[in-house]
Structure 1
Amino acid sequence: MNDGSSVAQLAATLRDELIRYPEGAKLPASRVLVARHQVSPVTLSRAIATLAAEGLVTSRPGAGVFKATQQRRTGTAGDVSWQEIALAAHPPLGGVDPATRGAGAAGVLATLTSPPPEVIDLNGGYLHTELQPERALGAALARAGRRPGTWSRPPVEGLPELREWFARDIGGPGGTLAASDVLVAAGGQSALTTALRALAAPGAPVLVESPTYPGLLAAARAAGLRPVPVPVDADGVRTDLLAQAFEATRARLFVCQPLFHNPTGAVLAPQRRAEVLRIARAAGAFVVEDDFARRLVHADSPALPLPLAADDPDGVVVHVRSLTKAASPSLRIAGLSARGPVLERLRAIQVVDSFFVPRPLQETTLELVGSPAWAKHLRTLAGALRDRRTAVLTALAAELPALLPQRPPYGGYHLWLRLPDGSDEREAAASALRRGVAVTAGGPYFTAEAPAPYLRLSYVGTPGTAQLEDGVHRLRQALS
């Protein structure tokens, strides 16, 4: 019993037991707690670490664990009402209301918030621990820790060996992408933020798919940019409308997810791939390709198309390739690649924002992707994603057949469910939560009002398929 739910349950139990102890009192020895609660020493250690992080206990090596002494706040509460004026008093940033720079994080926070242990998670955007390569990650971290120089400062662009690996991974066999075209970034979100800030001035329009990933919309608004939606259908972004949007806005940037688009799961059709590049090139614009799901392909998927960056000798595409989704939410590593002078702009923005990605994390990543365990994990993950998708679709066919997507994706980890006209998606999500299942309302995936009600259903946040089937059953009860 060492998974996240067991840790959370034990931490809750210990939290209740702490009420009986006076401040500074010593808790029973670890062996006593392990026997009393029938858990492993690892689970106990993690639960104690949780309580320590909350400031409820203190751990003293060689002495034991003690209930923390709470510091009493003295004096009266301060008056922070002045901040309302200060935060709104700045002049408009390039014509954009400065208040929007801090807005739009709700959609991101929804996928980062872990529901209580008793709630089935059909909302999260990261692999459950059952799907993560924990042993391979631990072994890679241990090997990286023994490397000479692991704790020294890395090059600001990233370790040369890791940049070379990303160049091969993105460009494919015989690709023209070089290690010098790649920057190592601290995850996909950080890479997207760097690209937005480097390629568009505050107040400028940026074309985005509609619907699209809420983290992109939040990052664009935080940078003072104005997201302009371009509709997506079953074959990806509508290229006829993309051309119109460039002409109407004079935008110089389009951000897209051509492979297993979030949230629809669409794959950009072959005939539209060349069109996207041609339209952007004619507009003198960049295309930021967020290739977040390439390592989330299902075992029964057809052959994948190459990235747009592989067909782009002219430097139109700025490519983002993250390893986080396929490994662990804490392995925040991505490759940010571009050709031409724009790479220096990206490098400058990234250096100012974060200096560099910590070397131990880069060394661990190198150890992971260079080991046989990585390839084995990807094969295992592909089979698990296929099985989970099949389980959810089968459950939907039995419980909610009207919500079945017409073209289920063969990659990624989510389904985009169209609710009947007139449905209140927020109430549907709230009702589902009351039934013990967490799903995501579709509204935050649109730049403005949604054209129809949707729910996004993720199938990687649970321990197995049994919970997925139960979650769909509870969702039917909530919607009925």
Structure 2
Amino acid sequence: MVAARLQGVASSPVRDLLALLDRPEVLSFAGGLPAPELFDLDGVRAAFDAVLSGPQARLALQYAPSEGNPALRALIGDRLTARGLPTGPDGLLVTTGSQQALTLVATALVDPGAVVAVEEPTYLAALQCFQLAGARIVTVPGDDDGVDPDALADVVRRHRPALFYTVPTFANPTGRTLPESRRAAVARLADETGLWVVEDDPYGELRYRGAPIPPLASFSARVLHLGSFSKIGAPGLRLGWVRTPASLRPALVVAKQAADLHTSTIDQAAAAAYLAATDLDRHVERLRDAYRERRDAMIGALASTLPEGSRWTDPDGGMFTWVRLPDGRDAAALLPVALAHDVAFVPGAPFYATTPDRATLRLSFTTTTVDEIREGVRRLGVALAQRDAGAEVGTLGVMSGRKPVDSRTRNGQIASGAR
């Protein structure tokens, strides 16, 4: 019999949907995937060649410390320091993707039955992680600028959560960004109450508009900062990290040892060689230029396609726009019609820990070209019209979900971090 802790953990609808989309004619806005044509294939290949050459090459194939490659941790620390988050190598633990970092934090801080607070909607794999840990999940209301610190204070007072999980910069799924004043307020609350805050930051360097905002972790030592090489490098390397205070480091290292001993030695060594030899800032700027154009194409196409009364976010960065269709529409019911027109998206319901807003859906703009985005949104418009006309195209049993966040409408859009 399957262990009880898995009973309430649903399969990821995004992963399920991706498995269905093997037809090349399908234009997919479903997965939060970086554009593969923008991977620095030559640079990564050269990095692997470098670590597998010379007298030290065999060490790259050996067991390694659980904490991670020292050179890689130093380079990651330098990068975080340059972003306003002073970090030394001893303050970092390298993980097998930032998803593992979140799992290790949950292992260290969340006992079965403990309360975890999350924004709503939130990253659905985080919900899976906390469900697997046996947590009771409570939600924190927010608005177009992210979580409401006063509402978080009320949740902390009433539920005493073990931690609060947030994606404060270009959030998944909404694209919204928490302003600096609110970051400071959340940090003060953490310091005053002893709350642990988990800042998940896979998208922070992908800013297309406006000035950078300091990481939430720069405001308080009660904030654990999770990062990833997946969105600015290559997700296939499965390299992430957690920046942790000294008090939690031993527990996280033990959790890491129990999980997989250490992250791939050769991948860490290659990443360190790559970062040492590559102008990563220049590469990230190329990503920003490409993704900015794609974001603009999607926002423009939505404005001319979605039915009256629709709203959507216009994010300052990241990978996603969050759409709310007019009342009465069900995005999950729309999906089979959209797939019949060779366009895919993720219905919003699975991103909710409580009662879902079924009129919502998430669109990713990074993996498709500008022309593909325009064509895909056109197809989505056709599917919407067909659905509104009452046509049925079967069902797709991969989407399920569970209170919508109130949003102020500005020029037909939910203004997500756009100043």
Aligned pairs (5 A) from 1:335-374: 335-374=241-280
Mean Cα displacement is larger for which, 164-173 or 183-192? 164-173
1:203, CA displacement in angstroms? Answer: 1.3
CA contact (8 A) 2:307 2:326 kept: no
2:188 counterpart (264, 269, 278): 278
Answer yes or no: is 1:302 the counterpart of 2:207.
Answer: no
2:288 counterpart (361, 377, 382): 382
Aligned pairs (5 A) from 1:67-146: 86-87=1-2, 99-100=7-8, 102-110=9-17, 114-146=21-53
- The C-alpha deviation readout for 1:17-62, integer Å capped at 9, x for no partner, is xxxxxxxxxxxxxxxxxxxxxxxxxxxxxxxxxxxxxxxxxxxxxx
* Counterpart residue type for residue 341 of structure 1: S
* Counterpart residue type for residue 122 of structure 1: F
1:174, CA displacement in angstroms? Answer: 7.5
1:269, CA displacement in angstroms? Answer: 1.3
1:407, CA displacement in angstroms? Answer: 4.9
Secondary structure at 1:339 match in 2: coil
Per the alignment, residue 477 of structure 1 pairs with: 382
Gaps of 5+ in 2: 386-419
Percent identical pairs in the alignment equals 33
- The C-alpha deviation readout for 1:179-212, integer Å capped at 9, x for no partner, is 1110001111111111111111111110011000
1:426 counterpart (325, 332, 339): 332
CA contact (8 A) 2:312 2:324 kept: no
User: What is the CA–CA distance in structure 2 between the aligned matches of 1:416 and 1:407, rounded to whole Å?
Assistant: 5
Secondary structure at 1:150 match in 2: helix
1:168, CA displacement in angstroms? Answer: 2.1
- The C-alpha deviation readout for 1:368-396, integer Å capped at 9, x for no partner, is 22233533321111000110011111211
Change (3 A) 1:375 1:237: same
* Counterpart residue type for residue 472 of structure 1: V
- Of structures 1 and 2, the one scoring higher in RCO (CA 8 A, sep 6+) is 2
CA contact (8 A) 1:203 1:226 kept: yes
User: What is the CA–CA distance in structure 2 between the aligned matches of 1:222 and 1:173, rounded to whole Å?
Assistant: 33
User: What is the CA–CA distance in structure 2 between the aligned matches of 1:360 and 1:403, rounded to whole Å?
Assistant: 52
1:403, CA displacement in angstroms? Answer: 6.8
1:449, CA displacement in angstroms? Answer: 2.2
Per the alignment, residue 197 of structure 2 pairs with: 287
Gaps of 5+ in 1: 1-85
CA contact (8 A) 2:85 2:215 kept: no
User: What is the CA–CA distance in structure 1 between the aligned matches of 2:149 and 2:19, rounded to whole Å?
Assistant: 32
* Counterpart residue type for residue 216 of structure 1: A
* TM-score normalised by structure 2 residue count: 0.86
Task: Provide the aligned length of Structure 1 versus Structure 2.
Answer: 382
Answer yes or no: is 1:400 the counterpart of 2:306.
Answer: yes
Answer yes or no: is 1:180 the counterpart of 2:72.
Answer: no
- Cα RMSD for the two superposed structures: 2.0
Per the alignment, residue 72 of structure 2 pairs with: 162
User: What is the CA–CA distance in structure 2 between the aligned matches of 1:115 and 1:170, rounded to whole Å?
Assistant: 37
Mean Cα displacement is larger for which, 118-127 or 278-287? 278-287
User: What is the CA–CA distance in structure 1 between the aligned matches of 2:89 and 2:242, rounded to whole Å?
Assistant: 11
CA contact (8 A) 1:421 1:452 kept: no
* Counterpart residue type for residue 319 of structure 2: Y
1:265, CA displacement in angstroms? Answer: 0.9
CA contact (8 A) 2:217 2:224 kept: yes
CA contact (8 A) 1:103 1:222 kept: no
* Counterpart residue type for residue 391 of structure 1: A
User: What is the CA–CA distance in structure 2 between the aligned matches of 1:296 and 1:112, rounded to whole Å?
Assistant: 27
- The C-alpha deviation readout for 1:251-277, integer Å capped at 9, x for no partner, is 120010111111111111121111111
- The C-alpha deviation readout for 1:106-125, integer Å capped at 9, x for no partner, is 34443576442110011111
Secondary structure at 2:168 match in 1: coil
User: What is the CA–CA distance in structure 1 between the aligned matches of 2:204 and 2:342, rounded to whole Å?
Assistant: 31
User: What is the CA–CA distance in structure 1 between the aligned matches of 2:118 and 2:13, rounded to whole Å?
Assistant: 18
User: What is the CA–CA distance in structure 1 between the aligned matches of 2:203 and 2:332, rounded to whole Å?
Assistant: 27
Secondary structure at 2:263 match in 1: coil
1:443 counterpart (346, 349, 355): 349
Larger Rg: 1
1:430, CA displacement in angstroms? Answer: 1.7
Change (3 A) 1:239 1:246: same
CA contact (8 A) 1:188 1:320 kept: yes
User: What is the CA–CA distance in structure 1 between the aligned matches of 2:146 and 2:306, rounded to whole Å?
Assistant: 25
CA contact (8 A) 1:175 1:310 kept: yes
Secondary structure at 2:304 match in 1: helix
Mean Cα displacement is larger for which, 170-179 or 360-369? 170-179
User: What is the CA–CA distance in structure 1 between the aligned matches of 2:83 and 2:384, rounded to whole Å?
Assistant: 48
Aligned pairs (5 A) from 1:13-32: none
* TM-score normalised by structure 1 residue count: 0.76
Secondary structure at 2:36 match in 1: coil
CA contact (8 A) 1:432 1:438 kept: yes
